[in-house]
Amino acid sequence: MQLYNKLSAKERAAMIEEAGEDRLTLSFYAYAKIGNPQLFRNHLFVAWDQMDVLGRIYVAHEGINAQLSVPAKRFAEFKEFIDNIYFLKDVRLNIAIEHDLKSFLKLKVKVRKKIVADGLNDDTFDVTNKGVHVDAKKFNELLDDPNTVLVDMRNHYESEIGHFQGAITPDVDTFRDSLPIIEEDLKDHKEDKNLVMYCTGGIRCEKASAYYKHRGFKNVYQLEGGIIEYARQVDNLKLDNKFIGKNFVFDHRRSERISEDVISHCHQCGKPCDTHVNCANEACHLLFIQCEECAKAMDNCCSADCKEIAALPYEEQKALRKGKGNSNKIFKKGRSEVLKYKQ
């Protein structure tokens, strides 16, 4: 039985191209108690590989978090399969607005300790005691209420290119960092204000809302399905759109545009721009915002130093990297001294 990928990303891309069939990009998650994640992982891989599902899926004792693409014509089959898993029956499927044929090029199902790297200790509070889930319509109503405090639960580089009007966007690198900051800011309003939160697909709010309830907040709400689902409902139901800019997503597209507003700036020249790139110097790989002119002038690099390194023959670059950790990627996502216009 085949339990892992055999095709390379390149071969897969060629195959998808050739097949020319529509694929749906979607995501879902569920907190559940999974006794044997490895066994469950194998079960998913065997079934989905056979359905030509591609994507990145994390399985843990605490549940599942999946981002994947499914051939449109096999969607019914896929849906039936997950409906047969008791904790996934009728799970919300966030279906992306832009359907890109190459969102994912492999099927990777991984067993992890947690489905979200949130740094929170589960034992300290009850994660099932979460906030009130609201849909786009109710969310808009809450935003019109002057008694509402709206908080963006994402990281700085995500909210930078798009967020809800009037949202507090903590300048943090990780989800965990934002929790105490927000609590401190709102400590005098634990009982009288509506604490409304949102994130990309809703998963971070599942835990954040439970955390705030545990910390004594009385009126905690979360946007169900996150920005992805909000955009879908606004579109389908012709609701007022209160999200400005782009929604940062975690597949190769990096973002999907929700409104025409460009709210951020090129980190190198300062002109309006909301396109994220990774520095072309493999040893740097810094995530930052770069306009087309700067990309051209800098050979897709974040700095003159990186430009110099990226121009070296591959073998020389490799020799330079030897023994050095890739610190930008891990600790400085979206931040660097070389970026003049990064606030």
* Interacting residue ranges for Zn ion, rule: CB under 5 A: 266, 268-269, 279, 281, 284, 286, 291, 294, 302, 306
Nearest to Zn ion of 19, 304 (CB atom):
304
The DSSP string of 220-245 is: EEEETTHHHHHHHHHHHHTPPP-EEE
Q: Quick one: DSSP state of residue 131?
A: P
Nearest to Zn ion of 142, 310 (CB atom):
310
- Residue 341 beta carbon to Zn ion: minimum distance, rounded to whole angstroms: 8
Phi-psi region of 230 (alpha: psi -120 to 50; beta: other; left: phi over 0): alpha
- Residue 161 beta carbon to Zn ion: minimum distance, rounded to whole angstroms: 14
Q: Is 273 assigned a catalytic role?
A: no
> Which residue is catalytic, options 199, 205, 273, 294?
199
56 alpha-carbon distance from chain centroid: 12
DSSP β-ladder status, 287-289 and 276-278? antiparallel
Q: Is the dihedral of CA 42, 47, 53, 59 positive or negative?
A: negative
- Residue 328 beta carbon to Zn ion: minimum distance, rounded to whole angstroms: 7
Nearest to Zn ion of 208, 277 (CB atom):
277
- Show Cβ contacts of residue 292 under 8 Å, excluding neighbours closer than 6 positions: 275
- Residue 258 beta carbon to Zn ion: minimum distance, rounded to whole angstroms: 23
Nearest to Zn ion of 208, 302 (CB atom):
302
Kindly state the tokens that stand for 131.
């906030």
- Phi then psi for 168, rounded to 5 degrees? -80, 125
Residues marked as catalytic:
199
